[in-house]
Amino acid sequence: MARTKFSNKIKKSTTKTSLGPKLRGLSQQLITALVIFMVLTWGYSLLQKSKVIQTIPLSEFATLVNQKQITSIEVEGDNVTAIKIDKSTIASKKETNTSVVNTLLAYGVSTSTLASTKITVKNDTGLAFWGSIIPFVLPIVFLGFMIWWLARGIKGANMQALSFGQSRAKIIHPDDVKEKITFRDVAGAKEAKEELAEIVEFLRAPKKFIDIGAQIPKGVLLMGAPGTGKTMLARAVAGEAGVPFFHLSGSEFEEMFVGVGASRVRDLFDMAKKSVPAIIFIDEIDAVGRTRSPSLGGQGEGREQTLNQILVEMDGFEPTINLIVMAATNRPDVLDQALLRPGRFDRRITLDLPDRNDRESILSVHIKKKPLAEDVNLKVIAERTPGFSGADLSSLMNEAAILAAREERTSVAQFDLIRSIEKVMLGPERKSHILTPAEKKITAYHEAGHALVASCLPDADPVHKISIIARGHAGGYTLKLPLDERRLMSRATFLDDIAMSLGGYVAEKEIFGDITTGPSNDLQVATAMARAMVTKYGMSELGPMALVPEGEQRTVFYNKEYSEAFGEKIDAEVKRIMDEAWQRAHNIILEKRNVLDVIAVELMRVENIEREEFEKLLLTNGIIPKRKKEEELISL
């Protein structure tokens, strides 16, 4: 059985790797090395080239010409290069102001010999100059370039390091139509909207408040279970007021580097202050704003700095500045008291799980873009989804649309919505999870046990569905829903619930004489309920006493507020409650053994029993099903 709803949401975490800049740096170094290597080889080859050419004195050169060993001469400034008959090149130097011809004549080379030798004169002495200088200058230029380049890279890396401190806030600009949300998009939550309307007012027209000397709140804390629309409401405030919305999650302050949190806070506030009027929204503020506990040692130091910085920033800006800091948490009990002081988050707004009417209106908000079949009745869906948050309802709608699309239908039917309730509540069906006939029988009797006990106890919720098809973690389940919206649990309801939880255990024991691991979760749930009755709600013989401090998170550190001897009394009391519940469940199962068989056999046959069929089964076996007042009238 899985009547407990698991709402532990898997927190999406984005891991930001620092590999990017590193890789870039690596390739940069590689290119640098390559370029240096190329320059060096080039310079070396130039050097080599100049070495190969043999330089000889002018006199020797003249002799060679005379001997007709030279085929052509090239003059470039004072440099004379010549090609010999054997194709080798020789070089020489002439005086600056005389021509080669004159020089050679002066060395006694005959005019006829000169005439047969090809002489070309390249007049550009400048080029020669460059030619000689480039091999030396170029590497220097390249080296300079390299240094500049590397320096640039390092600077880039510095910038990267700097940006770790910059806030990672996501910003929604007021003119961003696609992202804009207004109060109309948030269904229900009437009181919260009324409270926040004042903040909108202030952001829009601060003057009238300031003129009259009114203190405007700086910080608004939204408290409520996950998915109750805290983020949505904060965004709606920004949307209504038409101001930019800076959004950052508490867990994003400290990512990889301890100590960046504080500077991120600073950046976030600086950024927001530049664009007032504005809203800063810090989601999951409990991630940084937990009570500073000395027993944790140095562990939470970065977090503490972040928290301190938030406090400093909130104290730092004038109340006349048009900046509102909003924060959300589902654990207000663990928040540091410093955050809640006047001038900080002194406005607190609680968001409850939506009641039936609100659920219906949330459903209709989410239905907007989906074509509906005519049979859809959102009221019924709202009735069947107590305990669902806005986010749950939104995903229910989505699941239904997916189901319809997968079955090639163009509109969402009531049937899709109903199936989606269970999917959202318990996870997807695991049809592939095939039970052996023996397991099937055990599961059927187990669930039948729950259902029968629930139907016979006056204060247990009526059964809505029984199933032996595995779903999520549960092998089978008995779905029970309260007749009416319930805000308070009575002692009688607790006791019946505990007995109902033990129904599966008792049935297994009675029928098979043995227990499987199946009821382990039932036992946990039942025991936790019994313990809470004793230690939290004063619903036991021990009398009105709260024996555990608020907030389960602190249980690791809190000092027990009672003696060992008293602890034994608590345990004995829990045991007594459990035993009595077991006794009641046992009596029912023994007394109505025939009905148990009927339910179990039917379950093995059809695998799912809906409320209507189940009630028929009960009636034919002499048990009157529980009905709401108005339902009773109808059925009469």
CA distance 418 to 257: 47
CA distance 99 to 446: 118
Which option in ligand ADP, Zn ion, none does residue 391 bind, with CB closer than 5 to 8 A by kind?
Answer: ligand ADP
Q: What's the min distance (Å) between Cβ of 453 and Zn ion?
A: 11
CA dihedral 463, 464, 467, 470 (to 10 degrees): -110
Q: In this complex, which beta carbon is closest to ligand ADP, that of residue 9 or of residue 575?
A: 9
| CB proximity list for 171: less than 8 A, separation 6 or greater | 244, 245, 246, 247
Q: Are 488 and 459 in contact (CB under 8 A)?
A: no
Q: Binding residues for ligand ADP, how many (CB under 6 A)?
A: 18
Q: In this complex, which beta carbon is closest to ligand ADP, that of residue 80 or of residue 232?
A: 232
Q: In this complex, which beta carbon is closest to ligand ADP, that of residue 187 or of residue 617?
A: 187
Given 3-state DSSP classes, what are the helix, strand and coil percentages for the chain, each rounded to the nearest 5? 55, 10, 30
Determine the residue type at 120.
T
Q: What's the min distance (Å) between Cβ of 387 and Zn ion?
A: 18
Question: How many Cβ atoms are within 10 Å of 563's Cβ, its own excluded?
Answer: 9
CA distance 414 to 403: 11
465 φ/ψ angles, rounded to the nearest 5 degrees? -165, 145
Q: Distances in Å between the alpha carbon of 587 and those of 86, 456, 510, 513?
A: 123, 11, 11, 16
Which option in ligand ADP, Zn ion, none does residue 264 bind, with CB closer than 5 to 8 A by kind?
Answer: none
Q: Binding residues for Zn ion, how many (CB under 5 A)?
A: 3
Segment interacting with ligand ADP (CB under 6 A) among 39-47, 220-228, 243-251, 457-465: 220-228
Question: How many Cβ atoms are within 10 Å of 375's Cβ, its own excluded?
Answer: 10
User: Which residue of 508, 522, 573, 615 would you call a contact of Zn ion, by CB under 5 A?
Assistant: 522
3 state DSSP class of 636: coil
Is 447 one of the catalytic residues? yes
What is the dihedral sign for C-alpha 486, 487, 489, 490? negative
Phi-psi region of 80 (alpha: psi -120 to 50; beta: other; left: phi over 0): beta
Among residues 237, 259, 234, which one has the least CA distance to residue 249?
A: 234
Q: Which of residues 227-256 bind ligand ADP (CB under 6 A)?
A: 227-232
Q: Which of residues 183-202 bind ligand ADP (CB under 6 A)?
A: 186-189
Find the helix or strand (DSSP H, E) in which 308 lies.
helix 301-316
CA distance 62 to 85: 15
Closest CB to Zn ion: residue number = 1
Which option in Zn ion, ligand ADP, none does residue 230 bind, with CB closer than 5 to 8 A by kind?
Answer: ligand ADP
Segment interacting with Zn ion (CB under 5 A) among 106-114, 204-212, 351-359, 515-523: 515-523
CA distance 183 to 487: 26
Q: What's the min distance (Å) between Cβ of 363 and ligand ADP?
A: 9
Which option in ligand ADP, Zn ion, none does residue 189 bind, with CB closer than 5 to 8 A by kind?
Answer: ligand ADP
Segment interacting with Zn ion (CB under 5 A) among 232-240, 331-339, 501-509, 593-601: 501-509
User: Which residue of 240, 504, 511, 592 would you call a contact of Zn ion, by CB under 5 A?
Assistant: 504
Identified catalytic residue from 304, 447, 508, 615: 447
Which option in Zn ion, ligand ADP, none does residue 1 bind, with CB closer than 5 to 8 A by kind?
Answer: Zn ion
Which option in Zn ion, ligand ADP, none does residue 522 bind, with CB closer than 5 to 8 A by kind?
Answer: Zn ion
Q: What's the min distance (Å) between Cβ of 508 and Zn ion?
A: 9
Determine the residue type at 495.
L
CA distance 423 to 396: 8
Q: In this complex, which beta carbon is closest to Zn ion, that of residue 218 or of residue 480?
A: 480
User: By CB under 5 A, is residue 1 in contact with Zn ion?
Assistant: yes
Q: What's the min distance (Å) between Cβ of 199 and ligand ADP?
A: 17
Segment interacting with Zn ion (CB under 5 A) among 142-150, 427-435, 498-506, 609-617: 498-506
54 φ/ψ angles, rounded to the nearest 5 degrees? -85, 130
- Write the DSSP assignment of 515-562 as a string of letters: --STTHHHHHHHHHHHHHHHHTS--STT-S---S-S-GGGGGTPPPSS
Question: How many Cβ atoms are within 10 Å of 184's Cβ, its own excluded?
Answer: 11
Letter string b/e over residues 411-450, b meaning 16 or more CB atoms within 10 A of that residue's CB: ebbbbbbbbbbbbbbbeebeeeeebeeebbbbbbbbbbbb
User: By CB under 5 A, is residue 529 in contact with Zn ion?
Assistant: no
Q: Which of residues 387-416 bind ligand ADP (CB under 6 A)?
A: 390-391, 394
Which option in Zn ion, ligand ADP, none does residue 504 bind, with CB closer than 5 to 8 A by kind?
Answer: Zn ion
Q: What's the min distance (Å) between Cβ of 366 and ligand ADP?
A: 6
Segment interacting with Zn ion (CB under 5 A) among 242-250, 318-326, 503-511, 623-631: 503-511
Which option in Zn ion, ligand ADP, none does residue 481 bind, with CB closer than 5 to 8 A by kind?
Answer: none
CA distance 3 to 268: 44
3 state DSSP class of 75: strand
Q: What's the min distance (Å) between Cβ of 326 and ligand ADP?
A: 11
Q: In this complex, which beta carbon is closest to ligand ADP, that of residue 51 or of residue 369?
A: 369
Q: In this complex, which beta carbon is closest to Zn ion, that of residue 500 or of residue 617?
A: 500
User: Which residue of 362, 417, 421, 530 would you call a contact of ligand ADP, by CB under 6 A?
Assistant: 362
Q: In this complex, which beta carbon is closest to ligand ADP, that of residue 181 or of residue 460?
A: 181
Sequence length of the chain is 636
**CA 62 to chain CA mean position, Å:** 87
Q: Are 288 and 303 in contact (CB under 8 A)?
A: yes
Q: In this complex, which beta carbon is closest to ligand ADP, that of residue 7 or of residue 81?
A: 7
Which option in Zn ion, ligand ADP, none does residue 338 bind, with CB closer than 5 to 8 A by kind?
Answer: none
User: By CB under 5 A, is residue 100 in contact with Zn ion?
Assistant: no
Q: In this complex, which beta carbon is closest to ligand ADP, that of residue 43 or of residue 226?
A: 226
Which option in Zn ion, ligand ADP, none does residue 530 bind, with CB closer than 5 to 8 A by kind?
Answer: none
Residue with tokens 């504005």: 278
Segment interacting with Zn ion (CB under 5 A) among 25-33, 88-96, 192-200, 497-505: 497-505
Q: What's the min distance (Å) between Cβ of 418 and ligand ADP?
A: 20
Q: Which residues bind Zn ion (CB under 5 A)?
A: 1, 504, 522
- Annotated catalytic residues are 447
Q: Which residues bind ligand ADP (CB under 6 A)?
A: 186-189, 224, 226-232, 328, 362, 365, 390-391, 394
